Chain A
Amino acid sequence: MPILRIPTPLRPYAEGQTEVNVQGQTVGEALGDLTAQFPELKKHLFSDAGELRAFVNLFLGEEDVRHLEGVDTPLSEDDKLRIIPSIAGG
């Protein structure tokens, strides 16, 4: 089962968890499962139209999924997908 790693600013909306096991064959399906498990995460990750917000950085290993196949990027059972936050002040 792929694992999604949650950054500090999103942990309050995921019951404080740093990692969540998710189901899905693609990045999009994994995010769908994540937001099904933790509905409060949805508005932070997706626009009202249901699209992934442009600034959300998703990394599979060292690769930005934007440079792979975006939300259609396939995931294998032991993949770790990281949601990387922007860098705040200073």
Chain B
Amino acid sequence: MTSKVNTITTKPTVSAHQESEVEGMALLKAVGNTPLLPLRRVTKNISPDVKVYAKAEWFNPGGSVKDRPAFNIIRSALYECRLLPGMRLLDSTSGNMGIAYATFGAALDINVTLAMPENASPERVSILRALGAEVVFTDPLEGSDGAILVARQMAKEQPDLYFYANQYDNPANWQAHYNSTGPEIVEQTQGAVTHFVAGLGTSGTLTGVSRYLREYNPEVEIVAAQPDAAFHGLEGLKHMPTAIQPAIYDPKIPDRIAEVTTEAAHEMVRKLARQEGYFVGISSGAAAVAALQLAAELESGVVVTAFPDAGYKYLSDDALWETR
């Protein structure tokens, strides 16, 4: 009761704009605490003493794991006064991070500009437009690295207009997972997690979760999943040896790298949908391939991975679903 009285008495000191921003925070508070779902039928050849789970990151309000770093990047930029009123948030994206920025930008009255390769799926472009984000299309032949270079140049040319969020190099990215995803995994497995597997995009999930888990239990093994070649169809994942390396990526973190072929990941996406009811995207398929390969080698253990998003944004990809 006391706190309620306090809230009422302090309210008149908050301006209408600030109040709207505080209310916008309600959406951001829905980020995280995603379900930890078991993989069951796709694990039938695995030792009964090995359990495999995935964090269902599509339960986040913006529909992907990227809500976590987007929220933390925006929060830290506001707190440190690097994102000031009237400035636009700028970053390059393959889609999901842009959707997360656009979602929270709308909630907090922050305008968002995104550099994105022109061949982003039509679903992504439509979602970003629906959320009111400005999209600068970049040369599809130059891929995500081309979008990074365009965003860097725009930030350099107009530093007063843009807050360059720079998800690849911003420590608030991995810290989001250190502060939320890691603790959630420990809690949801009652501390029993033995292995963590994550696909490499910016490497934020792998870096943040691994740092937390290793502090909790230094014996936890970390596996990074990445495409088997520079040219691949694993949207959202990076082939680190041939791409611009994110500054937040520490190659010493993974105990090993699992190389996943596009075909194996696509097949797994179909299996997860049709055998488990998990309608997920391509990077989830790749994470599952790596997690199940690892699980097959174990006699006992609790393997946890993260499924970054749902399948909706890939529906236009007929080759993926083999529905033609």
Contact = CB atoms under 8 A, between A and B. Distances in A.
Interface of A: 5-10, 12, 18, 44, 47, 53-57, 66, 82-90
Given A54-B319, A57-B119, A89 B144 contact: yes
A89 B266 contact: no
Contacts of B231: 7, 9-10, 44, 85
A16 B92 CA distance: 25
B170 to A, nearest CB: 11
Interface string B103-142: 0000000000000110110000000000000000000111
Contacts, number: 106
A55 to B, nearest CB: 3
A85 B200 CA distance: 17
Interface of B: 92-97, 116-117, 119-120, 140-146, 167-168, 200-202, 227, 229-239, 242-243, 262-263, 266, 318-320
Given A83-B141, A90-B167, 4 more contacts: A9-B232, A12-B242, A55-B320, A89-B200
A82 B139 CA distance: 11
B141 A8 contact: yes
Contacts of A7: 140-143, 231
B143 A85 contact: yes
Nearest to A18: B141
A55 B144 contact: no
Given A9-B231, A55-B319, A89 B141 contact: no
Contacts of A87: 94-95, 116-117, 119-120, 143-144, 235-236
B266 A54 contact: yes
A54 B263 CA distance: 8
Minimum-distance CB pairs A-B, first 7: A55-B233, A89-B201, A9-B230, A89-B238, A54-B319, A87-B94, A9-B231
Q: Report which residue of B140, B141, B202, B239 has the largest number of chain A beta carbons within 10 angstroms of its beta carbon.
A: B141
Nearest to B116: A87
A89 B236 contact: yes
A85 B235 CA distance: 9
A37 B282 CA distance: 32
10 contacts: A5-B141, A6-B141, A7-B142, A8-B145, A9-B229, A9-B231, A53-B233, A84-B119, A88-B234, A88-B239
A88 B319 contact: no
Contacts of B266: 54-55
Given A9-B231, A44-B229, A90 B144 contact: yes
A23 B266 CA distance: 32
A2 to B, nearest CB: 16
A12 B95 CA distance: 26
A87 B137 CA distance: 13
A89 B94 contact: yes
A10 to B, nearest CB: 5
A13 B169 CA distance: 29
A53 B263 contact: yes
A44 to B, nearest CB: 5
Given A9-B242, A54-B266, A88 B236 contact: yes
Given A87-B94, A88-B243, A8 B142 contact: yes
A88 B202 CA distance: 9
